[in-house]
Amino acid sequence: MEPNDSRGQDTILSRVALNDNKAGMQGLDKDKINKIILETSKGSRFYENELKRERQVNQRIEKMMRYKAKVTEQQVQKAQAEVEKLTADLERSRELDRVIVHVDMDAFYAAVEMRDCPELKKKPMAVGSMSMLSTSNYHARRYGVRAAMPGFIAKKLCPDLVIVPPNFDKYRAVSEQVREVFADYDPQFLPMSLDEAYLDITEHLEQRQHWPESMRTHQICEMKTTGVEEMSELEISVGAETDTLSPVLFEDSPSSSPVVSGADVKVEVFGTSPEEAVREMRFRIEQKTTLTASAGIAPNMMLAKVCSDKNKPNGQYRILPERKAVMDFIQQLPVRKVSGVGKVTEKMLAALGIISCSQLGQQMAMLSLLFSETTWHHFLQISLGLGSTRIDRDSERKSMSTERTFAEMSDAQEQYSLCRELCHDLAKDLQREGLKGKTVTLKLKNVNFEVKTKAFTLQCAVCTEEEIFAAAKDLLKAEIDYVSPLPLRLRLMGVRVSSFISIDDKQPRQKSIVGFLKMASDYSSSAQPSKSEMVSVLGSSVSSTWEQYPEPRSPSFTGETSKPFSKWRTESDCASEPQQQTFFQKAHAKRLQKQYEQEETSGPYTDKISKCLPTDSTNNSAFIVRTHKATVKTDETQRCTWISHPDTHELAAKSDSNLPTTNPVSYAAQTKTKSANMLQCFTCPVCFSQIETKDLSSFNQHIDKCLRSELDNKSRSMDGCQYLCEDKNLLDNQGDAEKDHHKAIDLSSVSRKSVLKRNDEGPHTSSSTPLFEICAHSGFNTPFFKRFESMREKGSLVPHETMSDSGCVSFHQTASSVEVISEPLDMKVSTLTCPVCNQAQDTDDLILFNHHVDMCLNQEVLLEFREAVPPMAQSNSKVKDHEQYSTARGKSKRRGLSPPPPPKKAKAISTRHTIDKFFKGNSNHKF
Residues 873-902 that bind DNA (CB under 7 A): 877, 880, 888-889, 891-895, 897-898
SS3 content of the chain, % helix, strand, coil (to 5): 45, 15, 40
Check residue 802 for interaction with DNA (CB under 7 A).
no
Cβ-based nearer residue to DNA, 734 or 886:
886
Q: Which stretch in 355-363, 571-579, 727-735, 815-823 sits in contact with DNA by CB under 7 A?
A: 571-579
DSSP H or E run through 627: none
| 368 lies in the site for DNA, by CB under 7 A | no
Q: Does 454 bind DNA (CB under 7 A)?
A: yes
Please name which of 107, 103, 108 lies closest in space to residue 301, comparing C-alpha atoms. 103
The residues pairing with 626 across neighbouring beta strands, listed in sequence order, are: 609
Q: Pick the binder of DNA from 26, 131, 677, 924 (CB under 7 A).
A: 131
| 482 contacts DNA (rule: CB under 7 A) | no
Which residues make beta-bridge pairs with 201?
Answer: none
In the window 11-40, what residues touch DNA (CB under 7 A)? 16, 37, 40
Segment 634 to 663, residues that bind DNA, using CB under 7 A: none
Please tell me whether residue 526 binds DNA under the rule CB under 7 A.
no
According to DSSP, the β-strands at 162-164 and 125-128 are: parallel
911 scored as a contact of DNA (CB under 7 A)? no
Minimum gap (Å) between residue 184 Cβ and DNA: 22
Tell me how many residues contact DNA (CB under 7 A). Answer: 79
Q: Which of 273, 388, 532, 576 binds DNA (CB under 7 A)?
A: 576
Helix, strand or coil for residue 589? Answer: helix
Q: Are 535 and 508 in contact (CB under 8 A)?
A: yes
For DNA, which residue of 374, 677, 729, 830 counts as binding (CB under 7 A)? 374
Nearer Cβ to DNA (52/224) = 52
Q: Does 57 bind DNA (CB under 7 A)?
A: yes
Q: Which is nearer to DNA, 556 or 877 (CB)?
A: 877
Closest approach, Cβ 353 to DNA, in A, equals: 17
Q: Give the footprint of DNA on residues 65-94 (CB under 7 A).
A: none
CB closer to DNA out of 441 and 680: 441
Binding residues for DNA restricted to 195-224, rule: CB under 7 A: 195-196
Site string for DNA, 421-440 (x = CB under 7 A): ------------------x-
Confirm or reject binding of residue 193 to DNA (CB under 7 A). yes
103, 111, 153, 360: which one binds DNA (CB under 7 A): 153
User: Distance between CA 585 and CA 572 in Å, rounded?
Assistant: 9
Residues near 207 by beta carbon (within 8 Å), at least 6 away in sequence: none
Select from 400, 423, 462, 725 the one that contacts DNA (CB under 7 A).
400
Candidate list 397, 629, 694, 728; residue touching DNA; CB under 7 A: 397
Q: Quick check: 372 binds DNA (CB under 7 A)?
A: yes
Q: Which of 30, 78, 115, 452 binds DNA (CB under 7 A)?
A: 452
Burial class (CB in 10 A: 0-12, 13-18, 19+), 80: middle
Residue pair 706/686 in contact by the 8 Å Cβ criterion = yes
Contacts of 523 (CB under 8 A, 6+ apart): 529, 579, 919
Residue 567 C-beta: closest distance to DNA, Å: 14
Q: Which ranges in 603-695 belong to alpha helices (H)?
A: 648-655, 667-674
CA distance 84 to 795: 82
Residues 275-334 that bind DNA (CB under 7 A): 305
DSSP secondary structure letter of residue 911: G
Is the CB of 147 or the CB of 756 nearer to DNA? 147
CA gap 584, 582 in Å, rounded: 5
Per DSSP, 356 falls in state B
Helices (H), 390-494: 412-432, 465-483
| Identity at 587, one-letter amino acid code | A
Return the HEC string of 468-517. Answer: HHHHHHHHHHHHHHHHCCCCCCEEEEEEEEEEECCCHHHCCCCCCHHHHH
Q: Is 456 in the site for DNA (CB under 7 A)?
A: yes
* Residue 828 is a binding residue for DNA (CB under 7 A): no
Type of residue at 430: L
**690 pairs with which residues across the strands?**
683
Among 270-278, 452-460, 730-738, 856-864, the segment contacting DNA (CB under 7 A): 452-460
Amino acid in the structure at residue 243: D
Select 719 or 881, whichever has its Cβ closest to DNA: 881
Q: Residues 6 or more apart from 342 whose CB is under 8 A from it? A: none
Closest approach, Cβ 199 to DNA, in A, equals 16
Query: Site for DNA (CB under 7 A): which residue of 399, 556, 690, 697?
Result: 399
Closest distance of CB 335 from DNA, Å: 10
Residues 336-365 that bind DNA (CB under 7 A): 338-346
Residues 483-512 that bind DNA (CB under 7 A): 491-492, 494, 496, 499
Q: What is the 3-state secondary structure (H, E, C) of 366-391?
A: HHHHHCCHHHHHHHHHHHCCCCCCCC
388 binds DNA, rule: CB under 7 A:
no
Q: Which of residues 840-879 bind DNA (CB under 7 A)?
A: 877
Q: Which of 130, 221, 260, 873 binds DNA (CB under 7 A)?
A: 130
Region from 129-137, 274-282, 826-834, 855-863 binding DNA, contact rule CB under 7 A = 129-137
Taking every pair of Cα atoms in the chain, the longest distance, rounded to a whole number of angstroms, is 107
Which one of residues 11, 41, 136, 595 is an interface residue with DNA (CB under 7 A)? 41
Instruction: Please tell me whether residue 809 adopts helix, strand or coil conformation.
Output: strand
- Contact present, 371 and 364 (Cβ < 8 Å): no
Nearest to 590 by CA among 806, 810, 436: 806
User: Of 482-490, 570-578, 607-615, 622-630, which part binds DNA (CB under 7 A)?
Assistant: 570-578
Torsion-angle region of 58 (φ positive above 0: left; ψ -120 to 50: alpha; else: beta): alpha
Nearer to DNA, 171 or 623 (CB): 171
Q: How far is the CB of 372 from DNA (least distance, A)?
A: 3
- Type of residue at 12: I
Asked if 51 touches DNA (CB under 7 A), the answer is no
SS3 for 916?
helix
Q: Measured from the CB atom, is 199 or 808 closer to DNA?
A: 199
Question: What's the chain's Rg over C-alpha atoms?
Answer: 34
Q: Of 31, 29, 49, whose CA–CA distance to 41 is shortest? A: 49
Of 371-379, 607-615, 745-753, 857-865, the segment contacting DNA by CB under 7 A is 371-379
Least distance in Å: CB of 749 to DNA? 32
Contacts for 791-800: CB closer than 8 Å, 24+ residues apart = 791/688, 792/741, 796/688, 797/771, 797/772, 798/766, 798/767, 799/738, 799/741, 800/542, 800/543, 800/767, 800/770, 800/773
Residue from 86, 132, 355, 798 touching DNA (CB under 7 A): that is 132
Closer residue to DNA (CB): 145 or 706 = 145
For residue 134, state whether it binds DNA (rule: CB under 7 A).
yes
Span from 217-225, 399-407, 654-662, 713-721 in contact with DNA (CB under 7 A):
399-407
Q: Is 577 in the site for DNA (CB under 7 A)?
A: yes
Considering the rule CB under 7 A, would residue 578 count as an interface residue with DNA? no
Using CB under 7 A, which of the segments 136-144, 366-374, 462-470, 821-829 binds DNA?
366-374
Shortest gap between Cβ of 346 and DNA (angstroms)? Answer: 6
The nearest distance, CB 312 to DNA, in angstroms, is 11
